[in-house]
């Protein structure tokens, strides 16, 4: 009986020791696990094709973690909440954004996080949030998908215009225009010598142009001086003197006219004087 009791005690001790060892290992692993990763969340609108648990997360193109969970937003079924398991110390900032990017031609995808700017504060969980939330941005493929209808419409418009442009009638007009252009260039080539002479003459004329302009400027200065002198003459005493001279000239002309008339009537009077004697009373 005592031997059996000893076996039971030894077995219980071994089981207790193993259980304590497992708990210690799990505790240490959990502590290490909790310090090995940081958790963030990001909310993607629309389809998240290619994402799943374990999908790679990259920070500026470098693998830094994995997707931990994916779940629908209970308030908006169009939003998928993705929890990211990321190595600590990356310094994710408030202006960092996450997007879903295609991974080569395999059809898979990964989550890409941009680095943000150095002056932006570090991203932390807001009150009421379990983990910090990274803003999202549409990927290049999503932007292309959204803009595809508009792009196709523009391509169709361009195709219709090209069809109209390349119609038989327009091709005929284009051929005629090219033929006329060929004739014009041929004619210009035949008169290249004359064109060269003309260009030379233009060059010579342009050389003489500064002198011509200087002469014109000098002439304008002289005309301006003449106008100033004329204005001074009109406004000063010159005009009054000219009026007096004209009046004297008129009086002289009048006297000459009278003298001429007397000569016509009595030509001897100027030579012999007036010989007539008047009546002398006794």
254/179: higher pLDDT: 179
Confidence of residue 82 (pLDDT cuts 50, 70, 90): very high
185-237 pLDDT per residue, tens: 777 677 667 766 777 776 776 666 666 666 666 767 766 666 666 666 556 56
DSSP annotation of 269: H
In the chain, how long is the greatest CA-to-CA distance? Answer: 222
pLDDT in tens, 246-279: 666 766 667 666 666 665 666 555 444 554 544 4
| Residues with Cβ within 8 Å of residue 49, at least 6 apart in sequence | 109
Check residue 131 and report its DSSP letter: S
Q: What is the DSSP string of 220-265?
A: HHHHHHHHHHHHHHHHSSHHHHHHHHHHHHHHHHHHHHHHHHHHHH
Tokens standing for residue 6: 């000893």
Q: Which of 92, 89, 76, 66 is nearest to 43 (CA)?
A: 76
Q: Mind listing the pLDDT tens digit for each residue in 101-131? A: 888 766 688 999 987 888 999 999 999 899 9
Look at residue 282 in the predicted model and tell me its pLDDT.
Answer: 47
Share of the chain above pLDDT 70, in %: 56
pLDDT for the residue 247: 66
pLDDT at 71 over 90: yes
On whether the CB atoms of residues 81 and 72 are closer than 8 A, the answer is: yes
d(CA 247, CA 62): 113
Domain ranges of the chain: 1-36, 38-144
Which 8-state DSSP code applies to residue 118?
T
- Cα–Cα distance between 282 and 279 in angstroms, integer? 9
- Which of 23 and 66 is assigned the larger pLDDT? 66
Whether the model pTM is above 0.85? no
Report yes or no: 73 and 81 within 8 Å, Cβ to Cβ.
yes
């Amino acid at each position: 009986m005592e031997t059996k009791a000893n076996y039971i005690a030894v077995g219980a001790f071994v089981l207790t020791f193993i259980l304590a060892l497992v708990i210690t290992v799990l505790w240490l692993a959990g502590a290490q696990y909790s310090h090995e990763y940081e958790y963030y969340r990001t909310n993607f609108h629309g389809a998240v094709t290619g994402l799943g648990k374990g999908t790679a997360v990259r920070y500026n193109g470098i693998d830094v973690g994995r997707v931990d969970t994916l779940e629908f937003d209970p308030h908006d079924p169009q939003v998928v909440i993705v929890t990211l398991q990321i190595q600590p110390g990356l310094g994710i900032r408030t202006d960092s954004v996450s997007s879903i990017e295609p991974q080569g031609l395999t059809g898979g995808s990964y989550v890409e996080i941009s680095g943000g700017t150095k002056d932006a504060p570090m991203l932390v969980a807001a009150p009421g949030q379990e983990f910090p939330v990274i803003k999202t941005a549409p990927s290049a493929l999503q932007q292309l998908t959204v803009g595809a209808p508009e792009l196709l419409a523009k391509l169709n418009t361009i195709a219709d215009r090209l069809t109209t442009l390349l119609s038989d009638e327009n091709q005929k007009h284009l051929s005629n225009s090219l033929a006329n252009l060929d004739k014009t260039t041929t004619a210009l080539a035949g008169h290249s010598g004359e064109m060269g002479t003309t260009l030379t003459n233009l060059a010579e004329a342009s050389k003489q142009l500064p002198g011509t302009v200087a002469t014109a400027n000098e002439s304008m200065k002289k005309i301006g001086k003449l106008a100033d002198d004329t204005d001074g003459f009109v406004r000063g005493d010159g005009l009054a003197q000219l009026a007096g001279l004209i009046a004297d000239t008129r009086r002289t002309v009048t006297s000459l006219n009278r003298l001429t008339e007397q000569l016509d009537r009595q030509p001897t009077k100027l030579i012999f004087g007036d010989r007539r004697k008047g009546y002398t009373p006794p």
